[in-house]
Amino acid sequence: MKSEESLGVGYEDVEAASRVIGGAVIRTPFEHSSSFSRMFGCSVHMKLENLQRTGSFKMRGSYNKISSLTSDQKSHGVITASAGNHAQGVALSASLNRIGSVVVMPQHASLAKVAATKNYGADVILHGQLFDDALARAVEIQKERSMTFIHGYNDPLVIAGQGTIGMEIFDEQELDYLICPVGGGGLISGIAVAMKTLSPSTRIIGVQAAAMPSFAESIRQGKVVRAEASETIADGIAIKQPGEIAFRIVRSLVDAVYTVTEDEITEAMFLLLERSKQLVEGAGAAPLALLLSGKVNLSGKKVGLVVSGGNVDLNLVRKVIMRGLIMHRRIAMVQLDLPDRPGAMKDALNLIAEGGATVLSLQDNPMLSEGSLNRFHPNVLIEVEDSQHLDKLLDAFRRMGLNIRVV
């Protein structure tokens, strides 16, 4: 494989990968979002890799790597360790190449992801409580069976495969900025190699969860560092330590790496679902979260967002929707302060109904009430149109001399 010596991956490698994976992956849409463009005052376009086969970009790199193996290597099969998207990408890529695959996953891995990986043709082995445990077991099996280990991000062929996203974006639209999620760095490094060759003026920005800022901290310190383990909704980019190859490329070609909070990622997932009708996982929502954070001023610019994947547990989706509605003050828990007399609760509920709100639930626990025993303080979960509607309802209660507060 021909590569630029200083970086390890060159544009010619991305071009070669494009030819290899062309019949196996989908050329995903690059859609303009009028809603987000109005919201942020710039022209926002989204590369929807959540619509890719297996639900994420990972298929590109794994297929490019596996297709390059010799006949002897293929006869022994491939192995990897992963709890998410990489597992499914390797499983399907191996199946399409008609070779066997083993994926070692932690015992607590999502049942849905385990089932999906099996359905794509892999032999799934559950081992250990942590990813590091699964990785150690995968390395043991790889040596025992002479299999080829497929790394999720620290491999030139994998990086080149991910870089094909950059080629596709350039074919669609010239950009001022391209914002990409960062975990181990395989995705952004491949894209940067392609984009900085095709469109040197496009600024590449990485974004990762503040709860696991390994790449941002590595850039700050000028060397690869390991982050402390922490939980994040963006599990697809929750990588403790960047890949050495990817780090070298990012330092050279990427213009900045930012972090975003859990609330910003959650709100981005919510908005992508509501405004764009796209089910997106936390990692894929991180670029939009950066726009929400206000850390970068992109007013009037042409901006691309790499929506890297859409594999998210439906139980988490339910929580994201509820949190998003609360953040946008469309659902609120209010506590009433009412006299303990017949009809007081009915009058309060009528006032809520007359104000155009919907009561979702009501709870009163006298044991938790404070102050006078002649009053009670029920908690009422209500649904309203927006923040202004909620404020108008609160004012209506106060005009009637009733105390009300948002919990």
Summarised one tens digit per residue, pLDDT across range 380-393 is 999 999 999 999 99
Residue 210 near residue 217 (C-beta atoms within 8 A): no
Rounded Cα distance, 226 and 177, in Å: 28
Ranking 44-53, 282-291, 318-327, 337-346 by mean pLDDT, the lowest is 337-346
Rounded Cα distance, 268 and 281, in Å: 10
Of the listed 33, 47, 58, 93, which one is catalytic? 58
**11-56+155-313 and 58-149 share one fold:** yes
* Predicted local distance difference test score (pLDDT) of residue 198: 97
For residue range 293-305, what is the model confidence (pLDDT) as tens digits? 999 999 999 999 9
Residue 33 near residue 275 (C-beta atoms within 8 A): yes
Q: Which residues pair with 345 in a beta bridge?
A: none
CA quadruple 395, 397, 403, 404: dihedral sign? negative
Q: Which CATH architecture has domain 58-149?
A: 3-Layer(aba) Sandwich (3.40)
* Predicted local distance difference test score (pLDDT) of residue 83: 77
Rounded Cα distance, 65 and 159, in Å: 9
Ranking 195-209, 237-251, 336-350 by mean pLDDT, the lowest is 336-350
CATH fold group of domain 11-56+155-313: Rossmann fold (3.40.50)
pLDDT over 70 at 1, yes or no: no
Rounded Cα distance, 134 and 203, in Å: 37
Contacts of 313 (CB under 8 A, 6+ apart): 110, 112
Hey, what amino acid is at 16? A
> Quick one: 19 exposed, middle or buried, by C-beta within 10 A (0-12, 13-18, 19+)?
exposed
| Residue whose C-alpha is closest to residue 207's, from 183, 184, 186 | 183
Beta strand 358-363 with 379-383 is antiparallel
Of the listed 82, 218, 293, 308, which one is catalytic? 308
For residue range 227-261, what is the model confidence (pLDDT) as tens digits? 886 889 998 898 889 999 999 999 999 999 999 99
Q: Quickly count: other Cβ atoms within 10 Å of residue 43's Cβ.
A: 19
Ranking 93-97, 151-155, 179-183, 361-365 by mean pLDDT, the lowest is 361-365
What does the mean pLDDT of the chain come to? 93
* Tokens at 103, concatenated: 């994926």
Residue 201 appears among annotated catalytic residues: no
367 pLDDT band (50/70/90 cuts)? low
Would the pTM of this model clear 0.85, i.e. be above it? yes
Residue % of the chain over a pLDDT of 70: 96
* Tokens at 321, concatenated: 């929707």
| Residue whose C-alpha is closest to residue 77's, from 23, 122, 115, 116 | 122
| Residue whose C-alpha is closest to residue 105's, from 133, 77, 78 | 133
Residue 308 appears among annotated catalytic residues: yes
pLDDT over 50 at 3, yes or no: no
Provide the residue ranges of all domains of the chain, joining segments of one domain with +: 11-56+155-313, 58-149, 329-406
Residue 47 near residue 90 (C-beta atoms within 8 A): no
Q: Quickly count: other Cβ atoms within 10 Å of residue 294's Cβ.
A: 9
Q: Which CATH number fits domain 329-406: 3.30.420.40, 3.30.70.260, 3.20.20.450, 1.10.3720.10?
A: 3.30.70.260
